[in-house]
Amino acid sequence: MENWQKYISINSEIRSGKPCVSGTRITVSDVLSYLASGMSMEEIMEDFPSLNKEKIIATLSFAAYRDNMTKIAFSS
């Protein structure tokens, strides 16, 4: 998903400026942790009704984007 910007926002007044799913206080890191712990997308959506499959995929896309940007910064 190249359009993660539609679903991820950063606001210094929400969760100390951590990237969050837009319109929520759920951080990208929260979602990644849930997935890493073995939760399925369906379980996450059940526990957090404000999330849907597109938003969860957007967190993965954002993490990949940020990882790529980190590589670029360190290679310069």
pLDDT of residue 68: 85
CA distance 11 to 22: 10
Domain membership of residue 59 as a residue range: 4-69
Q: Could you read off the pLDDT of 9-25 as tens digits, one per residue? A: 999 999 999 999 999 99
10, part of any domain: yes
How many domains is the chain partitioned into structurally?
Answer: 1
Alpha helices in the chain (DSSP H): 28-36, 41-47, 53-75
Q: Could you read off the pLDDT of 28-51 as tens digits, one per residue? A: 999 999 999 999 999 999 999 999
* CB distance 26 to 11 below 8 Å: no
* Helix or strand (DSSP H, E) at 9: strand 8-9
CA end-to-end distance (rounded Å), the chain = 26
CATH number for the domain including 22?
Answer: 1.10.10.10
76, part of any domain: no
